[in-house]
Amino acid sequence: MPALKPGVLLTETEYGMALLDQESAEYWTLNPTAALVLQTVLDGHGPERAAELLIARYDGVDARQAGEDVVRIVAELRAAGLLTA
């Protein structure tokens, strides 16, 4: 199950989320879509649930697009070194 890398702080903002890697001092902002995906996987749910939530929240998003968005967002968070597993 994915988790934040130790030393990464997360806070909700008016526009999504902000993450700070205390070790590297790098800072990221997540839009509401990425924030929803991250929070869903951190809560222990799989990508399917994150896609379901995106479909429910945003009109016009189909299952294929939501699934692709979730995969891309999680991959980008892993590539940035913010998520483990």
- pLDDT beyond 90 at 49: yes
State the pTM of this model: 0.92
30 within 8 A of 16, measured Cβ to Cβ: yes
66 within 8 A of 45, measured Cβ to Cβ: no
pLDDT at 21: 95
55-85 pLDDT, tens digit each: 999 988 999 999 999 999 999 999 999 998 7
Report the CATH architecture of 3-84. Alpha-Beta Complex (3.90)
SS3 27: strand
Listed by start position, the domains of the chain span 3-84
- pLDDT beyond 90 at 51: yes
pLDDT at 16: 95
CA 20/CA 60 separation, integer angstroms: 32
- pLDDT beyond 90 at 2: no
Cβ-count burial of 64 within 10 angstroms (0-12 exposed, 13-18 middle, 19+ buried)? exposed
